[in-house]
Amino acid sequence: MALGGTITLAAFLMASSLVLLVATLVGGRKARYEVRLEELAGHGGPAPDQDAMVQLARTALPKMGTILIPTDEEERTRLQARLIQSGLYSRQAMALFLGVKLLLMVAPALIGTVCLSVSGRAARSTSFSITRLPLSQI
């Protein structure tokens, strides 16, 4: 790697580390182990509410997964056995698993479409016309 590339990489790593340090220091959120230690010591109050995104995922993913639940009893039983074998024992495990699977199938396509449309708009707005010259003038 050239010297310029090494300096650029070092500057990027230092800036990224600085941003991560500031975010860690400024973020007032306690880690789960800190909350649990305070609870065990008797100094903690009630457990903090879960994030809205976690609640959304717990409600939306099983609804999305019900679309993919196999209609054949044998396939459903086989999938349920595989989920139990992997340690997922909850009643919603199959729907949640299939919801995550559907999300992982659909999300990349949606992200790609959005990125393509955004980059297409940017390319159209910054495009310039190139006039064609006859080969004799080149």
Taking the model in full, what pTM does it have?
A: 0.50
Mean confidence (pLDDT) of the chain: 80
The pLDDT of residue 37 is above 90: no
pLDDT at 133: 58
Alpha helix stretches (DSSP H) within the chain: 3-26, 32-41, 52-65, 73-85, 93-125
Rounded to an integer, the average pLDDT of 36-50 is 68
Structure-model confidence comparison of residues 136 and 53, the more confident one? 53
Q: What is the DSSP letter of 136?
A: G
Phi-psi label, residue 65: left if phi above 0, alpha if psi -120 to 50, beta otherwise: alpha
CB–CB of 83/94 below 8 Å? yes
What pLDDT was estimated at residue 91? 86
- For residue 19, pLDDT over 60 is answered with yes
User: For the segment 70-114, what is each residue's pLDDT rounded down to a tens digit?
Assistant: 999 999 999 999 999 999 888 889 999 999 999 999 999 999 888
